[in-house]
Amino acid sequence: MNTTLNLLKPFKLGAYELPNRMVMAPLTRMRAKPGNIPQEMNQVYYTQRASAGLIISEATQISPQGLGYPNTPGIHSPEQIQGWKKVTQAVHENNGRIFLQLWHVGRISHPSLQPNGELPVAPSAIAPEGMANTFSGEQPFVTPRALETEEIPAIVEQYRQGAKNALEAGFDGVEIHSANGYLLDQFLHDGSNKRTDQYGGSIENRARFLMEVLEAVTSVWDADKVGVRLSPSSTFGTVFDSDTEALFNYVVSKLNPFNLAYLHIVEPRIQGNVTVEDDGNGLGASYFRSIYQGTIITAGGYTRETGEAVLEQDDADLVAYGRLFIANPDLPKRFALNAPLNEYDRSTFYGGDQRGYTDYPFLDDSKVLTTV
């Protein structure tokens, strides 16, 4: 094995000794069973990828209201906790580590996915552009209902309960999803947050919800087992800000005193799940290096070579791979051997069965798990 790669060197992440610096990025795959419960093929999928230094689970809703896509898993019912328990056990038996990504989609939903067909909720009654992904195909987003000030503490409590449930389910930590235009990101940006209460207006007010969620989650988990994901340069989900730099300078500097496990930055060349033209003006991990004092994970379009380079330049500590991990369950081994990679098939990213999920071949086919 080629152990000279920085990507393959161990790293101390808070309480954990990671065997390498390759993180499996959070990846929504829409393959939970009815009730939004993780099932056996999900165990197989994560177990196949247990050689990642750290796995971050697919985004997982903290409440029925937090749901925005069919068949994404939750962490709010006993059955979901049991389903996840089997996933974490299987990953641990294969010497892996897995954090749960805590999620509330806010307005990126549709009444057909909401309890009692209600409107999705958001900081303000502003519809995002584009289409919702529903059980009956794509449907235009609706104008969401603005959350009442009094409703926000209950959502913070749902994050706390989600964090507790993740602990019970045997996860090694949690990541707060404050990226990609979902609820917390909707609150951060002044294009989607027009509130006049203590959760809107100034940057400090717009960041308040995220800070309250962080307080809640770190009351359950030691902070060195909690990460936060931000996508400062992304407009995915129709989030815009009049001063992105000031917004994220503030948010990132406010994270410092928490002494978190990590800050996870999505690079400017990524909009949600696709790579776009990068004009070079965005805010990526290298920008935040001087502002954030702890561990930084960078994500977005990395290859073996560019991932190695970002570590070499010390712009980040860990590199997350999304699409490459979808198609290459044994990605660290392939990088070690500089072996060819399987190509990913976008048509099987979201929903479906084992195809395009657990059937990507390992270098050594005898390692392919069909069950755990």
Ligand X SMILES: Cc1cc2nc3c(=O)[nH]c(=O)nc-3n(C[C@H](O)[C@H](O)[C@H](O)COP(=O)(O)O)c2cc1C
Told to check if 304 binds ligand X by CB under 6 A, we report no
Closest CA relative to residue 61, chosen from 12, 105, 118, 116: 105
Query: In the bound complex, what is the minimum distance in angstroms from residue 98's beta carbon to ligand X?
Result: 14
Residue in 14, 322, 329, 332 binding ligand X, rule: CB under 6 A: 322
The whole-angstrom separation of Cα 109 and Cα 63 is 13
- State in Å, rounded, how far the first CA of the chain is from the last one: 27
* Cα dihedral value 319, 320, 324, 328, nearest 10: 90
Site for ligand X (CB under 6 A): which residue of 132, 179, 265, 296?
A: 179
Write each residue from 243 to 282 as x if it is in contact with ligand X (CB under 6 A), else as -, in one continuous string: -----------------------x---x--x---------
Tell whether residue 160 is a contact of ligand X (CB under 6 A). no
Candidates 25-33, 135-143, 216-224, 248-256 — which segment interacts with ligand X by CB under 6 A? Answer: 25-33
Considering the complex, what minimum distance in angstroms separates the CB of residue 367 from ligand X?
Answer: 22
Strand-pair category, 145-146 with 98-103: unpaired
Nearer to ligand X, 173 or 200 (CB): 173
Rounded alpha-carbon distances, angstroms, from residue 293 to 158, 249, 254, 268, 338:
29, 13, 11, 21, 33
Question: Is 250 a known active-site residue?
Answer: no
Which one from 182, 287, 302, 360 is the annotated catalytic residue? 182
**Cα–Cα distance measured from residue 182 to residue 235, given in angstroms and rounded to the nearest whole number:** 11
Alpha carbon distance 372, 105 (integer Å): 31
The answer to the question of residue 27 lying near ligand X (CB under 6 A) is yes
Q: By CB under 6 A, name the one of 18, 58, 186, 212 that touches ligand X.
A: 58
The CB-of-366 to ligand X minimum distance in angstroms stands at: 27
What is the distance of C-alpha 366 from the center of its chain? Answer: 31
Q: How far is the CB of 231 from ligand X (least distance, A)?
A: 8
Q: How far apart are CA 71 and CA 76, in angstroms?
A: 14
Q: How many residues bind ligand X (CB under 6 A)?
A: 23
DSSP conformational letter for 135: T
Nearest to 188, CA basis, from 108, 251, 278: 251
Stretch that binds ligand X, among 7-15, 165-173, 210-218, 321-329 (CB under 6 A): 321-329
Q: Can you give the length of the chain in residues? A: 372
DSSP state of 137: E
Q: Counting contacts by CB under 6 A, is residue 212 touching ligand X?
A: no
Residue from the set 323, 330, 336, 356 that interacts with ligand X by CB under 6 A: 323
Active site residues: 182
**Contact residues for ligand X (CB under 6 A)?**
25-28, 58-59, 101, 177, 179-180, 229, 266, 270, 273, 299-302, 321-324, 349
